[in-house]
Amino acid sequence: MYFVFFVVTCPVKKIAILNGPNLDRLGKRQPEIYGTATLKDLERLLRAEARVLGVALTFFQSNHEGALIDKIHALTDAGVDAFIVNFGGYSHTSIALRDALAASAKPAVEVHISDITKREPFRRKSITAGACIALISGEGLPGYVAALRRLAKVR
């Protein structure tokens, strides 16, 4: 009696997490709004969840709009499957970031640690969210985990 086994391998989904201005200051900047966890804490949290979900992550943070746009282009060209973005203050002002994300034609979820609908009037509207399949706001760092779980399911 012979047994034949077929191993089907699926490529690992690649998800990029892009954080914009001032997110490198997590843990120090307005902890009453953003909490005391750092950007490294967020990366550890997401890496642990990624292992469970079987996805690969890439992290990038910049305080510069052009660097974020360049990274979207480079990651798209490199074959990234999806994006989790928190463009910080640029979310409310940057048509260029929205255009770059839309041009990637990749699913994206925008995350905000604080609830932007309960912040200053100029923060309540996100321009960049229009290029995303979802917006998660006000869930703290677990909002990133929710975004990761959602994108891990997207085909």
**What separation in angstroms does the CA of 137 have from each of 100, 104, 141?**
21, 23, 10
- 34 assigned to active site: yes
User: Which one of 2, 34, 73, 144 is the catalytic residue?
Assistant: 34
Contact between 138 and 116 (Cβ < 8 Å): yes
Q: How far apart are the first and last CA of the chain?
A: 38
**Beta-carbon-side half-sphere exposure of residue 63 (alpha carbons within 13 Å):** 5
DSSP run (H or E) holding 40: helix 39-53
User: Which one of 90, 92, 112, 144 is the catalytic residue?
Assistant: 112
Catalytic site residues? Answer: 34, 112
